[in-house]
Amino acid sequence: MTEEMNFFNVYCDESCHLEHDRQPIMAMGAIWCPQSESRRLSTELRDMKARHRARGELKWSKVSASRLPFYLELVDWFLAENPLHYRGLVVLEKQRLNHAAFNQGEHDLFYYKMYFSLLNKILSPDSKYYIYLDVKDTRSRIKLRKLGEVLCNNVYDFTSQMIRHIQNIHSHESELMQVADFLTGALAYRHRKLSGNAAKVAVISHLESKLGRSLLGATPLREEKLNVFLFTPQQI
């Protein structure tokens, strides 16, 4: 592997992550690629949007029948692009979370623990990473820095060489962050067992057909294209 290919960009997003949103699950996702490929991939996505007249930001919440051909092509493009990888984490039975017992009473602490679980299986001490998370709130900068330190310490990188940069950005600033939103939204929709939006159902069906498996199941860690990890809260 060349020195250039040792640098990766990682883009993260989440769905149903608020503590009191009454959703049964919480989903997080990260899409990553070699840094040298990020500009080309972003340009291709912008060109795809232009061809389909899909103006504005790509978001799962915007998926509708009028743009279904665009979303289906987007799925095919993601699966065909070898440099692109995705890992999703789904917290099942979110109502069972006991922050008082396990997270010092803080939902925020649990939130960053889950980001650690999402990212630590992606990162390798032999590579360097630039990690971008969707903006959560104005107070997240210190916790973000702590997340970076813990991820590095986990691989005995006590001088934090593995993670070159970690920051919050707005999803409209990054085409690939928008793909993370799209795939994580699809994963959350599937695990919430929703079916009210026919276009979203069609997108998920197309993705599962191409993968040859359901998004409801966990995947082996060796699955690098679209990896899914399921977390069930511990009960006392």
At 139 the pLDDT is: 55
Segment 32-84, tens digit of pLDDT: 999 999 999 999 999 999 999 998 999 999 999 999 999 999 999 999 999 99
CATH number of the domain that residue 66 is part of: 3.30.420.10
For 16-102, strand residue ranges (E) read 26-34, 85-91
Beta bridge partners of 10: 32, 131
- 145 in a structural domain: yes
Collapsing DSSP to helix, strand or coil, 132 comes out as strand
All residue ranges of the chain with pLDDT < 50 are 1-3, 19, 99, 101, 104-105
DSSP 162: S
Q: Quick one: tokens of 90?
A: 């789904």
**CA 200, CA 11: separation in Å to the nearest integer?**
22
Q: Report the pLDDT value the prediction gives residue 222, as an integer from 0 to 100.
A: 93
14 within a domain of the structure (yes/no)? yes
pLDDT digits (tens, 9 = 90+) for 75-87: 999 999 999 999 9
pLDDT at site 92: 84
H helix count then E strand count, the chain = 7, 6
Q: Does residue 103 lie in a domain region?
A: yes
> Hey, what are 215's tokens?
């998004």
* Contacts of 106 by beta carbon, 8 Å cutoff, 6+ apart: 99
Q: Residue 16's domain spans which residues?
A: 4-231
What DSSP element (H or E) covers 167?
strand 163-169
Asked whether residue 155 is assigned to any structural domain, the reply reads: yes
Task: Specify the number of domains making up the chain.
Answer: 1
Q: Do the domain assignments include residue 236?
A: no
Query: For residue 46, is it within any domain?
Result: yes
Q: H-helix or E-strand containing 228?
A: strand 226-231
